[in-house]
Homo-oligomer: A and B are copies of this chain.
Amino acid sequence: MTSGREKFGAFIRREREAREIGLREMAKKIGVSPTYMSKVERDEFTPPTEDKVRSIAQILECDPDELLAMAGRVPSDLADIIKRHPVEMSALLRTANGLSAEDLARLSREAGKAKGK
């Protein structure tokens, strides 16, 4: 996984406990066994599938894209966009990479304008 950030499991455990949700309850809500949940939270298992990560994001009220990133996954809708316009989107992403958050925000607004018209 090689993530520089906080690990997925550690993060969701912390957030779950902050919300005082039991492991078994959480597991039930997202539709997995408590054992599995436990191992995932201790980063002993790799994170679950996209839909389950999304469920977790909803329960913990955090950004699904961010959580998916922690899970080492690319949101499938983004994957689809790239597959539909590989050349353009690859170019866009590679040049956008390394830009500051402000520049990126500005760029998105720019895109929004072009779209809106």
Contacts and interface: CB of A to CB of B under 8 A. Distances in A.
A114 B86 CA distance: 22
B79 A96 contact: no
Interface in A72-117: 72, 74-75, 77-79, 81-99, 101, 103-108, 110-112, 114-115
Contact of A63 (B3, B85, B86, B92): B86
Contacts of A3: 83
Q: Chain copies in the assembly?
A: 2
A115 B101 contact: no
Q: Which of under 10, 10 to 19, 20 to 34, or 35 or more describes the interface residues of A? A: 35 or more
For the complex of A and B, list the 10 residue pairs with the smallest distance between their C-beta atoms, beginning with the closest. Answer: A69-B86, A88-B104, A95-B111, A65-B90, A65-B86, A103-B114, A69-B83, A81-B97, A96-B111, A91-B108
